[in-house]
């Protein structure tokens, strides 16, 4: 079974699936579906609608739409045309900070576009349970309902240097002011000291020390807390604050 790219231990753990019958609530956000077709369009629309989020399909002249309308998020197919689409989104005056969902690719494929800050990926073929899980896990960002310790789902390449061991590359799943979660091809243990580096959109590459807080070896996922004494983490906090305000 394909699952959505999202951290179980941080974003989606223990979340029950919502009923298939949409509740009656006011729509407060709009998601643009770019280059999508049936039945994908209907499934995405239904899943977002269950959380009070409306969708609209855009097939052409994206730059014109981006200058005339404000969107809270978009779904972009990760194919040959993705580079142009993502560039248009991130250079838009009013939509540059929207949440971006990739469609159809793996996390590794999404890394090709990591400089554009893809937040999460819907894997194809879409499955309703996985799609609902991902929408539910990320809806607070789309709806601008920020919690005190908000985690921003984002996929980018992360360089990891363990205190004992060789440097290797991992993939981020989410980021907060206090830490991050990763998919790591190398086993790490709880309590292990590491140093990581990564770059995000307007955040140039930053290095920060941390400690592994949990590790799930069967899923190759780990979570880490940034070292409170490492002042470099303040650059991450500043970036998150600006990201949320935008």
pLDDT for residue 19 is more than 60: no
Strand runs labelled E in 79-187: 99-103, 120-122, 152-153, 157-162, 168-175, 179-183
Q: Note whether 102 and 189 are same-domain residues.
A: no
Of 92, 120, 142, the last residue of a domain is 142
**Termini Cα distance of the chain:** 36
Span 188-205, average pLDDT: 92
For 9-12, the CB contacts below 8 A with 24+ separation are 9/181, 9/214, 9/216, 9/221, 9/223, 10/151, 10/173, 10/174, 10/181, 10/223, 11/137, 11/138, 11/151, 11/153, 11/173, 11/174, 12/133, 12/134, 12/136, 12/137
pLDDT exceeds 90 at position 203: no
Helix (H, G, I), strand (E, B) or coil at 186: coil
Within a domain: 149: no
Residue 199 and residue 135 in one domain: no
Judge if 63 and 15 occupy the same domain: yes
pLDDT of residue 60: 65
Domain span at 182: 156-245
For residue 40, pLDDT over 60 is answered with yes
Per-residue pLDDT band at 208 (split at 50, 70, 90): very high
Q: Residue 195: how many CB atoms within 10 A of its CB? A: 17
CATH number, domain at 119?
3.40.50.2300
Per-residue pLDDT at 6 exceeds 60: no
Residues 133 and 163 in one domain: no
Measured CA to CA, the distance from residue 69 to residue 47 in angstroms comes to 22
Q: In 10 A of CB 217, how many CB atoms?
A: 11
Is the domain of 228 the same as that of 128?
Answer: no
In a domain, 147, yes or no: no
Task: Say yes or no: 83 and 193 in one domain.
Answer: no
Whether residue 151 lies inside any domain: the answer is no
Q: What is the pLDDT of residue 201?
A: 80
Note whether 133 and 164 are same-domain residues: no
- Whose tokens are 């309703």? That residue is 128
Give the mean model confidence (pLDDT) for residues 77-85.
Answer: 88
44 and 128 share one domain: yes
């989104």: which residue's tokens? Answer: 89
Find residue 99's DSSP bridge partners: 73
The phi, psi pair for 235, rounded to 5°, reads -65, -35
> In the chain, how many domains are there?
2
**Distance from C-alpha of 239 to C-alpha of 244, rounded to nearest angstrom:** 9
d(CA 155, CA 231): 24
Each residue's pLDDT tens digit, 122-138: 999 999 999 999 999 99
Residue 104 lies in a domain: yes
112: confidence class by pLDDT, cuts 50, 70, 90: confident
Greater model confidence, 60 or 228: 228
Dist CA 184 CA 90 (whole Å): 28
- Within-domain flag for 28: yes
pLDDT digit string, tens, across residues 134-177: 999 999 999 988 766 688 999 999 999 999 889 999 999 999 99
Which of these three, 81, 108, 142, is where a domain ends?
142
Q: Do 241 and 203 fall within a single domain?
A: yes
DSSP 113: G
**Pair 26, 120 in one domain:** yes
Q: Bigger pLDDT: 160 or 243?
A: 160
pLDDT at 68: 81
Distance (Å, rounded) from C-alpha 78 to C-alpha 98?
17
Provide the Cα torsion 34, 113, 124, 38; round to 10°: 10
> Is 150 a domain residue?
no
Tokens of 42: 């209907």
Identify whether residues 70 and 17 lie together within a single domain: yes
| Neighbour count for residue 82 (Cβ, 10 Å) | 23
């Amino acid at each position: 079974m394909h699952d959505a790219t999202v951290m179980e231990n941080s974003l989606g753990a223990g979340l029950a699936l919502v009923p298939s019958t949409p509740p009656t609530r006011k729509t407060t956000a709009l998601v643009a579906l770019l280059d999508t077709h049936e039945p994908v369009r209907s499934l995405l629309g239904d899943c977002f609608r269950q959380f009070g989020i409306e969708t609209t399909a855009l097939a052409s002249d994206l730059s014109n739409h981006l200058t005339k309308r404000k969107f809270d998020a978009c779904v972009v197919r990760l194919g040959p045309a993705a580079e142009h689409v993502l560039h248009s989104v991130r250079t838009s005056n009013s939509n540059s900070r929207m949440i971006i969902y990739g469609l159809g690719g793996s996390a590794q494929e999404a890394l090709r576009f990591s400089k554009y800050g893809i937040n999460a990926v819907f894997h194809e073929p879409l499955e309703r349970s996985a799609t609902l899980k991902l929408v539910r896990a990320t809806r607070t960002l789309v709806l601008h309902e920020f919690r005190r310790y908000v985690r921003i789902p984002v996929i980018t390449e992360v360089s990891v240097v363990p205190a004992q061991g060789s440097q290797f590359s991992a993939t981020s799943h989410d980021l907060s002011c206090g830490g991050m979660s990763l998919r790591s091809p190398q086993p790490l243990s709880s309590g292990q000291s590491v140093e990581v580096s990564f770059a995000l959109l307007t955040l140039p590459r930053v290095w920060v020390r941390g400690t592994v807080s949990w590790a799930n070896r069967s899923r190759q996922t780990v979570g880490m807390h940034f070292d409170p004494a490492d002042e470099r983490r303040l650059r991450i906090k500043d970036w998150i604050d600006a990201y949320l305000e935008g």
